[in-house]
Structure 1
């Protein structure tokens, strides 16, 4: 059974959306971590907005990281596209069922970069095996948050790592599904 591993950049107040270039002032030493997770994965699982950004950049990039990024199969949560380029397959309307099917297949890790809306769906359906949160020391006070008001998710901390520049990498395993509290 394949695992779904999520990596998300977050502010201290849980914002994942880049409404301003809030990450540009921080220079964490995350290169080895990002390289290890990419090379340790067998496929990428992406939301459509993340896919669009990546597909605009990576096909023309060079180097070992770019080669690996370009060679991996990509599964994209989209309801607006029936065909994709860049070695990508659309998941269609029922993302949770599609990802559940991918997890049942033999093979390695499915890596999710960013893709906050997709991650929320995966968490609500208990499809995330590991959640890697890169927490940046900034509070925005507005923007899309990974966990909405009323969401509850129990997590078990597996590892914490200081990446420098005040950025922490916190690795969790969910101890249940994301649930909206009544």
Structure 2
């Protein structure tokens, strides 16, 4: 069975993104995270991407990634652009960029994706989709990238997710010279 791996950037004060509509654009990870994107960051990201052959994305991450990656080229960008993408959204009616809109029950469809042969399924970002994934025990690994930045405003990790307490086990820690520390957790 394929693993579903979630990878999320988190500031030290728990911010993962700006609020929508934006009230704190400084809270967008591309603003506070960029100073720390170095060879360690790129190498770890590439390792995660190489371990996967599909992406699972919520609407917000899908739209942001599509805008950021579809115009780029090179080995890493080509890999991302060519990967099949599965998008969970209640508002989109169609997709492009090698993406398929998940129809029907999201938990059932993600469970079916995990049963298919292949490499891992990688999910970038934490948002509304996580409520369903965590409630149904579908995430096999969480990679929380803690950045040495205090943002002060924005959406916090699992804010408003509405699921019960979920206990995890620390499986690994990766430290980068930039100050990023990636905590890898698995279900307990």
Instruction: Report if TM-score (shorter chain) is over 0.5.
Output: yes
| TM class by smaller structure | 0.7 to 0.9
Structure 2 CA distance for partners of 1:25 and 1:57, relative to 1, 3 Å: closer
Secondary structure at the counterpart of residue 86 of structure 1:
coil
Query: Per-residue deviation at 1:127?
Result: 0.5
Structure 2 CA distance for partners of 1:23 and 1:78, relative to 1, 3 Å: same
Match of 1:22 among 20, 32, 55: 32
Q: Deviations over 1:76-131 (max 9, x none)?
A: 01111232101100113522221112112222211001142223331122100000
Structure 2 CA distance for partners of 1:89 and 1:27, relative to 1, 3 Å: closer
> What are the residue-to-residue correspondences of 1:15-164 with 2, within 5 Å?
15-18=15-18, 19-20=25-26, 21-28=31-38, 29-148=40-159, 152-164=165-177
Corresponding residue of 1:180: none
Moved over 4 A (4+): none
Contact 2:126 2:158 in 1 (8 A): no
Contact 2:127 2:158 in 1 (8 A): no
Between the two proteins, the alignment pairs up a number of residues equal to: 175
CA distance in 2, matches of 1:6, 1:130: 6
Give the TM-score normalised by the residue count of structure 2: 0.84
- What is the alpha-carbon root mean square deviation over aligned residues? 1.9
Unaligned runs of 5+ in 1: 176-182
